[in-house]
Structure 1
Amino acid sequence: MLGACSVPGTPRDDAPSRPAKAVGYLDKADAPDSLRLVPPPPAAGSPGMALDEAVSRQALALRDTPRFTQATEDADLSFPSGARQFACALGVPVDAQRTPHLYALLERSRIDASAATKAAKNHYQRARPFMVNGEPTCTPEDEDGLRDNGSYPSGHSAIGWAWALILTEVAPDRADDLLDRGRNYAESRLVCNVHWQSDILEGRHMGAAAVARLHDNAAFRADLDAARGEVAAARAAGLKPAEDCAAQAQRLQVRPESAL
């Protein structure tokens, strides 16, 4: 794998061809069925809903703090920004030029993990916290679209947890950092006031379900194998993420107190 890399910072000769619009690895029929795999969301007046509301209140208290700033950054799933969300936890930069297979792995699995949440989202059409508490979100420009997109389960949480699991296979020695990032990436949705705690917990469940399905896909496995070599090459070249990883780590130490 290392021999397939050109000079660090230049494109790979064996970079995967990328369509104009990214597509997932899985056919639609192969996506996990969230309507079967997650229970109904907590009902109004139930203990589960009371816990969701308590965590939401604690998350709202983090507005205008560095943790809120981090949550705003975490909201961006567009690429190339999305490729960098786990760079600090991974310990190397991720981009389409230097790590093209890793970049494709994250971009394509994002689509599959998101698809894994859609059946339940569309069925339950759960109202998001900002629609209930009347408080703003960290991405006001997205609020109109979010109103028509069910809250349960959380797509961002599914994606973040899928990325965490996939990246632990790419870099097993960074597993704790990556899994911690998967957890706090989901918690950013609480801080943003766009998801309830039960949304993010079941979102992580669906992210894991998507990764289980992905392992039966030959293209996914090929990108996974190639990504391991790219990370090894980046480490050998001494490449480091461009992000301020120390500042990110400090921001992410803060959690809503009742978050599970």
Structure 2
Amino acid sequence: MKIQSLTAAIAAALVASACTLAPRIVAPVSPAEVGELRAGTGVLKGYLAPAELPDSLALLPPPPAEGSPALTADIDTFRSLTKLQNTPRGAMAVTDANLRFPEAAAVFSCALGIQISEQATPNLNMLLRRTLTDSALATYKAKDKYVRTRPFVMLNSGSCTPKEEAALAKDGSYPSGHSAIGWSWALMLTELTPDRADVLLQRGRAFSQSRAICGVHWQSDIEAGRLVGAATVARLHANPVFNAQMAAARAEIAKARTAGGAPTAACSAEAATIAASSSSAP
């Protein structure tokens, strides 16, 4: 047998073997197939098993101590950013507080330049829903250890989401779950559409800063949450179902972008609001 023929035969055998050993993974897009983390909540199970989640307690230092310069900085930032509550940026912060779907799917639609929804982009929508769970759960080792008091409780002030205050007061402030979620979403979307990296990361940063504007998180909570979000995305890349869903979402985004669509007035207003408030953010 000629060398070329032998090489071709080996290559063909390897390809056939790979197809046999590694069948194509099709990630589910149906919420019913994925299942809820807790029945009746609408929160879907994540991609990661509990033992696979990043260890936020090992990753993060303790929150700023009483009387420390870091806590003083947190208090100063709180007083500065909560002044934005009765502005368009404050209205955005209220919108960002809502993690329920389908509303939450639209948070990055303007930054991405396409509509995100279960109907228009089912794989992308599922990525957001399931990674919300992974990123949020990854914060709880540190949350449960430190049980840090939230700023609106410590400083006896209101928040931009008064209906949530009773529940939030019982939930540790450090690190911020919203920040972990928003930053993980921004990183994933940047990987899927690197040419829109700047605007996506700006939106992710604004999403996390919304928690300080609302008065429900300290700035150090937010920064710690971003770290946990980044760690979660890094860990997710070892999950085959996540990777399959990323590939499918990338194809959805490419198709939607090819179809095109003019920027809406709401998207122009969002960009202007973020730009106007960026000088106020630490």
Instruction: Decide: shared fold, TM above 0.5.
Output: yes
> Quick check: 1:92–1:240 contact (8 Å CA) kept in 2?
no
Cα deviation per residue 1:105-164 (whole Å; 9 max; x = unaligned)?
Answer: 011001000011011111111011100122211111100100110000000000000000
Match of 1:16 among 13, 29, 33: 29
> Quick check: 1:42–1:48 contact (8 Å CA) kept in 2?
yes
The 2-side partners of 1:229 and 1:54 are apart by 45
Asked if 1:172 is matched to 2:194, the reply is: yes
Counterparts of 1:225-240 in structure 2, within 5 Å, are 225-239=247-261
- TM, length-normalised to structure 1: 0.91
Amino acid at match of 2:237: H
The 2-side partners of 1:241 and 1:79 are apart by 23
Amino acid at match of 1:140: P
* Partner residue, 1:81: 103
Question: What are structure 2's unaligned runs of at least 5 residues?
Answer: 1-26, 37-43
Asked if 1:161 is matched to 2:183, the reply is: yes
* Partner residue, 1:223: 245
Change (3 A) 1:87 1:67: same
The 1-side partners of 2:30 and 2:141 are apart by 30
* Partner residue, 2:213: 191
Amino acid at match of 1:190: A
The 2-side partners of 1:103 and 1:224 are apart by 11
The 2-side partners of 1:87 and 1:241 are apart by 11
> Quick check: 1:162–1:210 contact (8 Å CA) kept in 2?
yes
What's the Cα RMSD here?
1.7
* Partner residue, 1:10: none
Counterparts of 1:193-208 in structure 2, within 5 Å, are 193-208=215-230
Cα deviation per residue 1:183-212 (whole Å; 9 max; x = unaligned)?
Answer: 111110010000000000000000000001
Amino-acid identity (%)? 50
> Quick check: 2:81–2:280 contact (8 Å CA) kept in 1?
no
What's the CA shift for 1:60? 1.8
What's the CA shift for 1:82? 1.1
3-state DSSP class of the match of 2:84?
coil
Asked if 1:56 is matched to 2:78, the reply is: yes
> Quick check: 1:197–1:259 contact (8 Å CA) kept in 2?
no
Amino acid at match of 2:228: M
The structure with the largest alpha-carbon Rg is: 2
The 1-side partners of 2:169 and 2:219 are apart by 18
> Quick check: 1:54–1:258 contact (8 Å CA) kept in 2?
no
Runs of 4+ in 1 over 6 A off after TM superposition: none
Which stretch shifts more, 249-258 or 97-106?
249-258
Q: Identify, as 1 or 2, the structure richer in helix.
A: 2
Amino acid at match of 2:62: P
Asked if 1:111 is matched to 2:141, the reply is: no
- TM, length-normalised to structure 2: 0.84
Change (3 A) 1:258 1:40: farther
Asked if 1:140 is matched to 2:153, the reply is: no
* Partner residue, 1:68: 90
**What count of residue pairs does the alignment treat as equivalent?**
247
Change (3 A) 1:98 1:243: farther
The 1-side partners of 2:127 and 2:263 are apart by 18
Which stretch shifts more, 135-144 or 203-212?
135-144
Change (3 A) 1:60 1:47: same
* Partner residue, 2:113: 91
Amino acid at match of 2:165: E
* Partner residue, 2:144: 122
* Partner residue, 1:4: none
3-state DSSP class of the match of 1:97?
coil
Structure of higher RCO (CA pairs closer than 8 Å, 6+ residues apart): 1
